[in-house]
Amino acid sequence: MLIIIQLFDTLTGGALSNFGIIPRYAQGLMGIPLSPFLHGNWGHLFSNLPALLVLSALLMAHSIRYYVLASLFIIFVGGTLVWLFGRTAIHIGASGWIFGLWGLLLANAFFLRRVKDFFFAILVFMYYGGIVFGLLPWQADISTEGHIFGAISGLAFSWLSKKWVITGH
C-alpha cells in the first residue's frame, strides 16, 4: 500500500505530501491518520520500509488484533502530540510509527514479562538499538518530534496493555 501511495504521489508531483501533519493548523489535523503513509520521496519510503515490516511482523506474533490496535494508538496519539507540540513544518513518514512499534516491543518485555516479549526485545535491541539516536535532533528536515512522540505512544500502549490484561479489559 505504501508503494502504491508513493507511486501516486510521484505521478502527481508530490501533491500528497501536503496532507501531512501541520502542527496547530486545522488543515494539519487530517495529517494525523495520513502522515505515516506519505513519504517525501522513494528514498524516504525505502529507508522506512524494512524496519516497519520487521517490527510489524514481530508485533503480529502477538496477534493481528494487538498489532492493529497498537498501530492505531501509536499513529493517532503520536500524531496528535506532533500536531500539538511539533515545530511548524509538514511532518510525513512512517518513522513515528516505527519508533512507536520499537518502543512498544521493548516496553512489552518490562510491562508484560513474558518470555516471548523478552526474546523480541533482545532481537529489537540488537538489530534496531541504534535508532535510539533518532530521538536526538540531528537534522532539521527530520521529524524528531514524530520519533519521540511515536516512541512515547508505543511505551504508553505497552503500559496500557498491562493494565488491560490485569483488569481483563
pLDDT in tens, the chain (169 residues): 999 999 999 999 999 989 999 999 999 999 999 999 999 999 999 999 999 999 999 999 989 999 999 999 999 999 999 999 999 999 999 999 999 999 999 999 999 888 999 999 999 999 988 788 777 777 777 889 999 999 999 999 999 988 776 444 4
Domain ranges (residues) in the chain = 2-167
Contact 142, 82 (CB under 8 A): no
- Buried b vs exposed e over 7-22: b needs ≥16 C-beta within 10 Å? eebeeeeeebbebbbb
pTM for the whole structure: 0.92
CA 82, CA 91: separation in Å to the nearest integer? 8
Segment 84-100, tens digit of pLDDT: 999 999 999 999 999 99
Q: What is the CATH number of domain 2-167?
A: 1.20.1540.10
The per-residue pLDDT for 136 is 76
SS3 call for 21: strand
